[in-house]
Structure formats: structure tokens, C-alpha cells
Amino acid sequence: MPENKLQNGHKSQIRVWCDGCYDMVHFGHANFLRQAKALGDYLIVGVHTDEEITKHKGPPVFTEEERYKMVRGIKWVDEVVEGAPYVTTLDTLDKYDCDFCVHGDDITMTADGVDTYHLVKSADRYREVQRTAGVSTTDLVGRMLLLTRNHFKQGQYEYHVAKEHSSTMGQDSSARSPYTGCSQFLPTTQKIIQFSDGKSPKPGDRIIYVAGAFDLFHVGHLEFLQKAREQGNYLIVGLHTDPVVNRYKRSNFPIMNLHERVLSVLACKYVSEVVIGAPYTVTKDLMDHFKVDIVVHGKTPIMEDENGEDPFKYPKEIGRFITVDSGNDMTTEKIVERIIRNRLEFEMRNTTKEQKEIELIKALEEHQISV
């Protein structure tokens, strides 16, 4: 245990360590880090390299540089350690002066089937928090692999992922691992409250408004929101409904439903507030209601509203619209292209990971029966 935790007879700052791949960072990752931060005062997150992830799990979707940026953008993270070791050691905790390591209640193993947290567990420097049910990177990869199928219908979401994905893997869905199984996230008002800062604009704040789908929240979104936030003090993000996104994105978009997208955006440290189901056209009423000073949009093309008009017509007319260049050309469509291009590799990764988990679960159950 680090020796400098007592100062003048009182316990000083509690430092918490988390590590992981953080590939395709989603609200499940953010919720885990929120819970970890609540166990201490300062949260340090170690992120594995592409080489380590490929060795133990299979190829990541995002590069290590993209993943480092994404984790730094989560509001509960105080510090990021690049290239963290895949197996968490006591030396790592001591190097960064951390009291303990936190992980979710799922299973993480090396390529050799070893629990990556066995060292810190045996030293009683391991804490566990509840995993967010209904989402995982494996789940999202599965949704994208099935993008050409009927996972989205106008006006409602129909995820056939569990059934179809399990048949892709050649397994009965009832035998699947609870950690990589696909299920639709069930939102609650409590979860939104936990993710929200709950802070109103202060008098004199310059209020910025942006709107969009923000589907599969990625590094392009992050860097755009950072640039938008630089235009003022308080950033409001309007999130379009699923049918609206489907109208202008076509195909079977969005990948993530409105409730999932709300939490993903709220977890971003640059975002102050989210408008759930914002209208596609930015009207005078909307700007007056939120006291918007400036409307910001990125370099992506703007599709006309259903009436054929520019959705930003009003803020442009009154000189309160600007375009910013985030310098990042990542899009949700490009992420899907990465997945489809490497489809076989990702399917193999998902199958292997799930099979390992199932085997370990069976071993643990057999051990409990024998005891």
C-alpha cells in the first residue's frame, strides 16, 4: 500500500486505478468509470496498446491514439496512462500511487486464460462495481455486422441481434455468456441524473448549441464538441430522435438508440446539457427558450428538413451561426466500414471471447457444486 496516505493524522486523497482496452468507448465504459471515481477522489485510467489487445483479444476497432483521446474526454477521468500492462500488477498501482484497482463484475482474461486481476485480488487491492447491463463493445460490433439486416424500423427499434448473432456464432442463445450477450439497454431517469451535471448556465455565460445524431460516439464527435465548447462557456447538445436520424442517415442508422446516445454524449466532459429528441430545425423558439448565443455546426453536409428548408436558416439569418473544423474526419459510417472490412476477424474475436467466458463460467459452476 502506498505510504503517503496519511498526512497530519488524516487520510489524504484516495487514488483509484482502472485499466482496459476502452475500444469503441460507450456509455457502459463511462458508467463504469463514474462508479470507480465515486470510490475515491482521483481516477487514473490505464489504456492498453493495440499490440497488447491484439495479442490477448483480437484486433481493436480503434487505434490506441484514438482510444487515449476518447478516455481523456470522459468527465470522470482525471488522468490517462498510455500503454498500461494487460495484467494489472502491484507495481503498477504503486507507481501511480493508487490505493486499489477497480473493475466491473465481468470476466477479463489473458490469451492464456489467466485472470488479468489475480495479483491485485490476492493482495486485497481490488474493488468491483456493477457492469452496465445491455451494452458492450461486442454488442455494438454485432449490431454493425448486422447493419444490412432489419435492426432498425422507422419509428421503433427492433434488435434481432441476440437471435441472429448467436446463429452467426453457431450457438444457442440460451447458452451464451452473460458478459458478451447482446441485449437492448433499458434507460431510467436515475441513470440520466447520474450522468448529468445538473448545472444551469450562470449569468453572463455564452451558450452554445449544436445538434445531430452523435451515433456511436467517437473521436470525431469528441473533437468537434471540444471546438464547439471553445466558442463559449455552456454547451447544449440537441439529439435527434431515431426516426429523424434514419431519415437523413438512411440505411439502418442509427446504430444506437436515442437513450443510449443521450448517455454517451452526457459522459463527455465538454457537454453541459442535452436536449433529448431535439427538433431537426433550429427555430427562434428553441433559441429563445435555451437563450442560445451561437449555433455551431461541423464540416459534415447539412440535409434539408422535410419542408425543403435549411434547418439552420434562422440562426444564419440573424448572424448567430458558425461552422467549425474539428480537424478530424471520423464518421459513424467510417467506423462501420472498418468493421465490415474486417468482418471475419471481428466475428472470430467475438466468438473466441465468448467461448472463453462460457468455459470459465462452467468451470466456476462445477467448482461451486463440488464444494
pLDDT confidence of residue 286: 98
Alpha carbon distances (Å) from 71 to 78, 187, 295: 10, 23, 27
Please report, rounded to a whole number, the percentage of residues in the chain having pLDDT higher than 70: 76
CB 88 within 8 A of CB 116: yes
Residue 368 reports pLDDT greater than 90 = no
CB atoms within 10 A of CB 183: 14
Residue 156 reports pLDDT greater than 50 = no
pLDDT confidence of residue 363: 65
pLDDT confidence of residue 110: 77
Residue 315: how many CA atoms within 13 Å on its side-chain side? 25
pLDDT-based confidence at 169, cuts 50/70/90?
very low
Which residue(s) pair with 138 in the sheet?
A: none
Amino acid letter for position 251: S
Residue 58 reports pLDDT greater than 50 = yes
Specify the range with the lowest mean pLDDT, choosing from 75-89, 170-184, 218-232.
170-184
Average pLDDT on 248-272 reads 92
pLDDT-based confidence at 59, cuts 50/70/90?
confident
Q: What gap in Å lies between CA 347 and CA 196, rounded to an integer?
A: 35
Got the DSSP string for 255-314?
SS-HHHHHHHHHTBTT--EEEET--SS--HHHHHHTT-SEEEE-SS-----TTSS-TTHH
Q: Of 224 and 164, which is predicted with more confidence?
A: 224
Residue 214 reports pLDDT greater than 80 = yes
Q: Of 339 and 351, which is predicted with more confidence?
A: 339
pLDDT confidence of residue 2: 45
pLDDT confidence of residue 100: 98
Residue 174 reports pLDDT greater than 80 = no
Task: Name residue, grid cell 431535439.
Answer: 278
- Domains parsed from the chain with CATH numbers: 6-129 (3.40.50.620), 137-186+333-370 (no CATH), 189-323 (3.40.50.620)
Strands (E), the chain: 6-7, 10-11, 15-20, 42-47, 79-82, 100-104, 126-129, 152-153, 156-157, 207-212, 234-239, 273-276, 294-297, 321-323
Q: What gap in Å lies between CA 182 and CA 137, rounded to an integer?
A: 10
